[in-house]
Amino acid sequence: MARSLTLTGLDKSFGATPVLRGIDLSVNPGEFVSLVGMSGCGKSTLLRMIAGLESPDRGRVAIDGQDVTEADPSDRNLAMVFQSYALYPHMSVRQNIATPLRMRQMTLAQRLPLIGRLLTPAALRSEIARAVEDAAETLQITALLDRKPAQLSGGQRQRVALARALVRNPAAFLMDEPLSNLDAKLRAHMREELAALHKRLGATFIYVTHDQIEAMTMSDRIALMSEGRIEQLGTPDELYHSPATLTVARFIGSPTINLLPAEADAEGRVHLFGTDTGLSTPARGPLTLGLRSEDLRIAEQGLPVQVLRCETHGADRYIGARVEGGEDLRLTLRQPTLHPAPAEGQRLHLAMNGEAAHLFDAEGRRASVTRRERVAA
Partner 1 sequence: MADMAPAARPRSLEDRRLRKGILFALPAGLLLLAIYIVPLLVLGGFSLTDYRLGALNWHFIGLENFAHAFADPVFLRALRNTVLYAAIVIPCGIFLGLGVALLVHGRKRTRGFWEFAYFLPVTATLVAMATVWQFLLHPTLGPVNAAITFLGFDPVSFLGNPKLLIPTLALIGTWQVVGFNMVLFLAGLTAIPKDLLEAARLDGAKSPIDRFLTVTWPMLGPTTMFVTVTTSITAFKVFETVAVLTKGRAGSETLLYALYLEGFDYSNTGYAAALTLIFLAIVLVLSIGQTLKLEKKVHY
Partner 2 sequence: MLRRYLPHLVLALGAVVMLLPFYWMGLTAIRPPAEVFDISLWPIPKHFAGVENFTQAATSVPMARFMLNGVIVCGGILIVQVATAVPCAYALAKLRFPGRRILLSMVIAALCVPMQALALPLFVGLAKTHMLNTYFAMMAPFFLSVFAIFLFYQSFRSYPDEILEAARMDGFSEMEICWGLVLRASLPALAAFAVFSIVAHWNDLYWPMIVVTKTELAPPPLGMLFFSDAETGANYGALMAGATLITAPIVICFLLARKQFIAGITMTGVK
Taking the least distance from each CB to partner 1, the nearer of 68 and 246 is 68
- Which listed residue (43, 76, 187, 334) binds partner 1 by CB under 8 A? 76
Closest CA to 98 of 126, 131, 50: 131
CA nearest 141: which of 102, 151, 79, 88? Answer: 151
13 binds partner 1 (CB under 8 A): no
Q: Which of 249, 269, 267 is nearest to 360 (CA)?
A: 249
Indicate which of partner 2, partner 1, none lies near residue 89 (CB less than 5 to 8 Å, by partner kind): partner 2
CB of 313 to partner 2, least distance (A): 35
72 near partner 1, rule: CB under 8 A: yes
For the CB of residue 70, give the shortest distance to partner 1 in the complex, in Å: 4
Supply the DSSP symbol for 251: H
Contact partner at residue 66 from partner 1, partner 2, none, CB < 5 to 8 Å by partner kind = partner 1
How is the beta sheet containing 316-323 ordered, strand by strand?
Answer: 296-299, 347-352, 303-313, 316-323, 330-336
Alpha helix stretches (DSSP H) within 112-211: 115-119, 122-138, 154-166, 184-201
240 interacts with, out of partner 2, partner 1, none, CB within 5 to 8 A per kind: none
The strand pairing partners of 287, in sequence order, are: 262
Q: Which of residues 16-55 bind partner 1 (CB under 8 A)?
A: 52, 55
Least distance to partner 1, CB of residue 55, Å:
4
Q: Which of 70, 127, 137, 327 binds partner 1 (CB under 8 A)?
A: 70
Length of the chain: 377
Nearby residues of 290 by Cβ (< 8 Å), 6 or more positions away: 243, 246, 249, 257, 258, 259, 260, 357, 358, 359, 360
Task: Determine if 2 is a binding residue for partner 1 (CB under 8 A).
Answer: no
- Identify residues 92-151 at the interface with partner 1 (CB under 8 A): none
**Going by C-beta distance under 8 Å and a sequence separation of 6 or more, which residues neighbour residue 118?**
none
Nearer to partner 1, 63 or 161 (CB): 63
Under the binding rule (CB under 8 A), the answer on residue 3 touching partner 2 is: no
Does 99 sit near partner 2 (CB under 8 A)?
A: yes
Q: How far apart are the C-alpha atoms of 1 and 324, rounded to whole Å?
A: 59
- Residues forming the site for partner 2 (CB under 8 A): 48, 51-53, 72-74, 76, 78-80, 82-90, 99-100, 103-104
- Residues forming the site for partner 1 (CB under 8 A): 52, 55, 63-64, 66-72, 75-77, 171
